[in-house]
Amino acid sequence: MTVEMALETRALTKRYRRGKPALENVTLGVPVGAFVALVGPNGAGKSTLIRTFLGFERPTAGSAHVLGIDVRRDTPRALAQLGYVGQTPGIYTVLTARHHIEMAAELRPGFDVDAALRRLAAAGLPDDRPAGQLSGGQQAQLALTLALGTRAPVLLLDEPLASLDPLARRDFLDTVAEAVAGGTTVLLASHIVGDLDGACDRLIVLAPGRVQLDADMSWARAHHRLVPLADAAGMDLVGSFANRRGVHTALVRTEDPVADPPRLDDIVLGYLAAGRRPEGAA
């Protein structure tokens, strides 16, 4: 296991008593300092993967590591490296933002109170108003402030954009991007692909329970193109889907970089339609 990877899994499988595996033979890596988008439809296994890194899910087989620490063997030490924000903010509606920060400082050694208060002020969040009176975007920013205040080197975000309006999503992503610029590694799970285009530097497509793509965003954008399905014979076909105009379109891989790369959501659609993991993704 290499410490150059902030998050890493090897042949990770999670099976429940009934139904298909939530994760099946998942091998992936999140480099230190990266901002990685983990995308896929609901039920793809994104939350199960994040919960495994957090130690909430016990793997059926395989392993998960945080900065080289085996989560299963040393959960407390692995958790100390992680900050987390879920789809619901997980805050107490009767407590003010300042009370949340004070409580976090008592519970998490090394919590940076001053930095958290500065982040609240920069986001325009009142620190003396009950959290239940804040907007959904403000509550999400408060949850993110608490996660960043831990000064954890790795941040896990599980669908935090799902219930936010477009402006709130942009503000949230801007704050995350600032954290990445400061050296934090981020894994952001989402099914809202359009907002992630241009924000992340690595892409993992997960569905259903399998890794369809794990690649640098620059590689993914440069080595795929869209062609009419009828013209895809003999090409390295990833998958096909009906585009916005109802035309059957194929996503194909190319050896040479393309001049006009496809949109991120079209790349994701192609891999979701494929239902298979590509070979040779860099």
Residues 234-248: pLDDT tens digits?
999 999 998 878 889
Taking 80 as the threshold, does the pLDDT of residue 276 lie above it? no
Which of 196, 212, 228 terminates a domain? The answer is 212
Q: What is the pLDDT of residue 82?
A: 98
**What is the rounded CA–CA span in Å between residue 222 and residue 213?**
14
Q: Residue 80 maps to which CATH number? A: 3.40.50.300
pLDDT bin (cut points 50, 70, 90) of residue 68 is: very high
The whole-number pLDDT of residue 3 equals 52
CB of 24 closer than 8 Å to CB of 70:
no
- Are residues 113 and 155 both part of a single domain? yes
Q: Quick: pLDDT tens for 154-207.
A: 999 999 998 899 999 999 999 999 999 999 999 999 988 888 988 999 999 998
Look at residue 171 and tell me if it is in a domain: yes
Claim to verify: residue 194 and residue 228 sit in the same structural domain = no
pLDDT of 267 reads: 95
Q: Given this model, what pLDDT does residue 278 score?
A: 40
Specify whether 230 is located in the same domain as 129.
Answer: no
Amino acid at 116: A
Residues 93 and 225 in one domain: no
Distance in angstroms (rounded) separating the CA atoms of residues 190 and 1: 27
pLDDT in tens, 114-151: 999 999 998 899 999 999 999 999 999 999 999 999 99
pLDDT-derived band at 217 (thresholds 50, 70, 90) equals: very high
Q: Which of 34, 24, 59 is nearest to 207 (CA)?
A: 24
In a domain, residue 149? The reply is: yes
- The answer on 102 and 242 residing in a single domain is no
Q: Quick one: 204 and 228 in the same domain?
A: no
**Residue 230 confidence (pLDDT) above 60:** yes
Q: Is position 279 within any domain?
A: no
How many domains are there within the chain?
2
Query: Which domain does 255 fall in, by range?
Result: 215-274
Q: Residue type for 226, please?
A: L
- What is the pLDDT, as a whole number, of residue 85? 97
**Domain end position, chosen among 171, 195, 212:** 212
Same-domain status, 33 and 54: yes
- pTM of the predicted protein model: 0.92
Looking at the structure, tell me whether residues 179 and 240 fall in a common domain: no
